[in-house]
Amino acid sequence: MKGEDAIGAFVRWLEHEKHASPRTVASYRSDLGALLAWSAREGPGDDPAFLDTADLRSYLATLYRELAPSSVARKVSAIRTFFKFLHARKMIEENPAAMLRTPKLPKKLPRFLTVDQASDLMTLPDPKARKGLRDVTILELLYGAGLRVSELHALDVGDVDLGERCVRVLGKGGKERIVPLGRRAVAALAAWLEARPDFPSREPDDEALFLGTTGRRLSVRTVQRLVKRTTALLGTSEGVGPHTMRHTYATHLLGAGAGLREIQELLGHSSLRTTQKYTHVSATHLAEVYDRAHPMAHRRARRRPPPQDDENDREGESR
């Protein structure tokens, strides 16, 4: 079995059955191509059926010397998924990646904007200009609906329901969800939909919600640049991307009292574990919750009476 054939079958499975994003597919293809290239040069060859656990560990050892643990972890994930697929399809007899361990990574809290920063951000684009109106609508959706940049990129005009104040989103794995919209997002969308025909579309049947000045669907890269360029005006210490807006959305919902299960549904997370990273609520909010909920918070601590001097001691002191 040629390595190219195995990767090709795996990529088709990712695209057609798992509905992985083009970025994910490209990442897997690159990581697996690097593995088989190393195997052809240093190992038993580019046939994945000839690779065993020792070979894979030798390859990962070379990566540990060159890459950060986070990069190695991504490659380990690709390798494990690849060999699990080959084994399930009976393209290999045993799964050599089953015993591979993902390197431990330091837990990083997701970055997010403060409420004031998020509010100020929406005032930066000029809504009187067509492009500014489009940009503020994009920011309102990223913050007001917690969309992934790929989800925002894929939105069509027909996905927006202003009457019901919601938007239909196609998330990871082809999973569809309905996300409610706030008052400001609805107002921005209404204004943008009225101005959108002024953006010439190169394709008459193009129903993309957001168009660029060239008339095509606005690219993911353009949205990323827009967010970083606009948030830089806030004076943040480092660039803020679209995913930071999603973190901000979830963090502010949690801080306002929303439950993790509800936030999980709104974000389209398949696992609650993914949503739990947003439990980094401020200590002030946690103290407020404690004061409202814990019975001991409402009881005054009993104060011990001050120690009384012994009469003999007092008599001794007076002498």
pLDDT digits (tens, 9 = 90+) for 8-64: 999 999 999 988 888 889 999 999 999 999 999 998 988 999 999 999 999 999 999
Mean pLDDT along residues 285-306: 55
Question: Which residue in the list 217, 246, 247, 252 is annotated as catalytic?
Answer: 246
Q: Which of 131, 168, 243, 277 is catalytic?
A: 243
Tell whether the model's pLDDT for residue 1 goes beyond 90.
no
Domains annotated for the chain, with CATH where assigned, are 3-88 (1.10.150), 115-278 (1.10.443.10)
Residue 252 known to be catalytic: no
Q: Out of 28, 59, 249, 278, pick the active-site residue.
A: 278
- Give residue 80's identity as a one-letter amino acid code: R
Q: What is the mean pLDDT of residues 180-197?
A: 92
Q: Supply the pLDDT for residue 163.
A: 94
Q: Determine which one of 80, 148, 196, 217 is catalytic.
A: 148
246 among known catalytic residues: yes
Mean pLDDT over 141-162 rounds to 93
Residue 312 has pLDDT above 90, yes or no: no
SS3 80: helix
User: How confident is the prediction for the chain on average, in pLDDT?
Assistant: 83
Q: Quick one: tokens of 114?
A: 């403060």
pLDDT at 300: 45
Instruction: Give the C-alpha distances (Å, rounded to integers) separating 236 from 112, 122, 225, 252, 268.
Output: 11, 15, 15, 18, 28
Instruction: List pLDDT tens digits, range 73-122.
Output: 999 999 999 999 999 999 999 999 999 988 887 666 667 888 898 999 99
Q: What is the pTM of this model?
A: 0.60
**Residue 74: active-site member:** no
- Name the most confidently modeled range: 53-62, 127-136, 205-214, 298-307: 53-62
Is 97 or 285 the better-scoring residue by pLDDT?
A: 97
Active site residue 90: no
290 — pLDDT class (breaks 50, 70, 90): low
For β-strands 166-170 and 160-161, DSSP reports them as: antiparallel
Which is catalytic among the residues 29, 57, 74, 269? 269
Catalytic residue from among 172, 184, 216, 277: 172
- Say which DSSP state 299 is in: S
Please confirm, yes or no, whether 243 is among the known catalytic residues: yes
C-alpha torsion 232→172→84→31, nearest 10: -30
What distance in Å separates the CA atoms of residue 72 and residue 31, rounded to the nearest whole number? Answer: 10
